[in-house]
Amino acid sequence: MGIDGGPRTAVVIGAGVVGLSTAWFLQERGVDVTVVDRHGVAAGASWGNAGWLSPGLAIPLNEPGVLRYGLRSLLDRSAPLHVPATPDVKLWSFLTRFAMNCTWQSWGRAVQANLPFNEECLEAFDVLTSNGVEASTVEAPIMAAFESPRQAVGLLHELRRINESGLEIRYTAFDGDGLSEQIPQLSSRVRAAIRLDGQRYVDPGQFTQSLARAVVARGGTIRSGFRVTGVHPGSGGLSVRSAEGDSVKADAVVLSTGAWLNELGEAWGVRVPVRAGRGYSFTVPTERPVPGPVYLPAVRVACTPYQGKLRVAGTMEFRDADAPLYHRRVEAIIASARPLLTGVSWEERTETWVGPRPVTPDGRPLIGATHAPGRFVAGGHGMWGLTHGPVTGRLLAEQITTGKRPEVLRDFDPTR
């Protein structure tokens, strides 16, 4: 420990955007950091996601309409929300808790809890990119597209509710002709749209890799192929041990392993279950340049300009985090998005990917100290780990180094 009682050294378990952001902000506060990961940098949900930095759409998943939609689509293997037939008792227990939280009261609490994160998330990215993280964020509106004005009503209601909660989201509704002039990839089937201003996007894999390089450049160590089996107290602090027999000692340990968080977290007093809500993505060429992100809410598909092409992402699949990629899910995304987009070469698909997004049943992430001394958690952000990763790291680093929990983390207590 340091002279002031704060930790001098820390190990961060997990080299995704949340873990690496925590490592960077710990370094900013004078802590020597080692990051360990069983695979490597951005090996989980941080690489292939849509790359949106979208406080305007960082809406908790437990909106009551999701429950109604989920029940209708439960047996449809092509539906954007898919739960496979399985005897997994823990999964059904999780889904039961999730269903119980699909109320306006629980959703509203999650919205309020996330409000400071949505207000500060872009600033946290600016801190990183202004101080050695060599990856750009691109400011561009997100265009949500619908086949009719009636389809847009649900999102308009959600945006109004969030504005009423205190977060100002600037948006404009459109209908009729001329939508393709703003986004040439929109087909003639699209008859209504909502443009959300003040949003951004990044290449998520490139950003996470750049963040890792910045951590190393500032004196940190990143160890890949380090599968943690346990964290044990000792005379020299905490010892993080691997399946290969290696160990790293530190004063503090941060668990940021995404959908695998409960594997170690349960022993630390983390009672909130985290399950993998797996998302799929792939890349396709387009006839014309893509000016900005496109959201297809009716089919739950997000599209983003990506390396001169279009990254298409979708699906919420509650399956084991380590299960293989199921091509039927990719085919379902294409079938649902194809009628709404034009000038897209679907048959030239590349970089097909699946990643496990860490979902909690109450729509709130797990950030803060656990019952185990010196052990902290950062995870459970659902679909918004990229958007909220840097601000999570900044606030958790403050708690770790000062011993005082920021008030905005109260509702994210991992031992709740």
User: What pLDDT score was predicted for residue 1?
Assistant: 60
pTM over 0.75: yes
Q: Is the pLDDT of residue 109 over 80?
A: yes
269 is a domain residue: yes
pLDDT at 286 over 80: yes
d(CA 414, CA 412): 6
In a domain, 2, yes or no: no
* Section 234-256 average pLDDT: 94
Compute the average pLDDT of residues 285-309.
95
Worst-scoring range by mean pLDDT, 22-31, 321-330, 392-401? 321-330
Residue-range definition of the domain harbouring residue 284: 9-412
Cβ–Cβ < 8 Å for 314, 333: yes
Q: What is the predicted pLDDT for the residue at 90?
A: 87
Task: Give the tens place of pLDDT for each residue, 7-19.
Answer: 999 999 999 999 9
The mean pLDDT of 192-220, rounded to a whole number, is: 96
Q: pLDDT higher for 36 or 298?
A: 36
CATH of the domain at 104: 3.50.50.60
The pLDDT value recorded for residue 3 is 47
> Considering the domain boundaries, does residue 272 fall inside one?
yes
Task: Confirm whether 3 is domain-assigned.
Answer: no
Instruction: Name the percent of the chain lying above pLDDT 90.
Output: 77
- Which has the minimum average pLDDT: 83-92, 182-191, 230-239, 397-406? 83-92
Average pLDDT rounded to a whole number, residues 167-184: 85
User: What's the confidence (pLDDT) of residue 134?
Assistant: 95
- Confirm whether 45 is domain-assigned: yes
Q: Is 327 inside any structural domain? A: yes
| pLDDT above 70: percentage of residues in the chain | 94
Q: Give me the number of domains the chain comprises.
A: 1
pLDDT at 16: 97
What pLDDT does residue 57 have?
85
